[in-house]
Structure 1
């Protein structure tokens, strides 16, 4: 299973929803980068993704996007193959 990295904040309902879906799909470990606790990481996230909102999710080297993007990927049947590839 590919490594999953999620830029998040301490309390973010969309981050929690994304994490719950990933766990339902078999992800056991998510590397969370909390941008509210480490403001320098917010700049890194914005440079990597071009986005300001959390969550921002990477599966391996692929930028999936945010929570809605993750759910859309799952509905399209593409999340599990991406995790496994």
Structure 2
């Protein structure tokens, strides 16, 4: 059956998921601040707006505008147990969504302020 699937669709679901996991993790590893987003999401725009207001360099992937967006979103769920967007990473550490970013901005994380996390990630 998987042979037929590969012939018809080019890869198995497992291979597609593995490729999406590798791509997602590479984006997280390569960017000090990584935001997996959807272009129409107000919470995503709020998070990106906060980073912009702090002059933070960040990379955003709009999952609704890339061909493999749903696979990346599924991969992020498998890797980090979060399917919702925004899905935010600073210095490779999973922050969470918009409300999680707000909490870090107000209260810090692991004893460090948002500014300290961003500086440690070389994002400022």
TM range (shorter): 0.7 to 0.9
Matched, 1:13 2:47: no
SS in structure 2 at match of 1:57: strand
Q: Which residue of 2 aligns with 1:82?
A: 117
Gaps of 5+ in 1: none
More strand per residue: 1
TM-score normalised by L of structure 2:
0.61
Q: Give the alignment's Cα RMSD to 1 decimal.
A: 1.5
Gaps of 5+ in 2: 1-30
Q: Which residue of 2 aligns with 1:67?
A: 98
Deviation string 1:34-71 (CA, Å, 9 cap, x unpaired) is 22232221122212220121001000111010000101
Deviation string 1:19-46 (CA, Å, 9 cap, x unpaired) is 111122230x321122223222112221
User: Greater CA radius of gyration, 1 or 2?
Assistant: 2
TM-score normalised by L of structure 1:
0.86
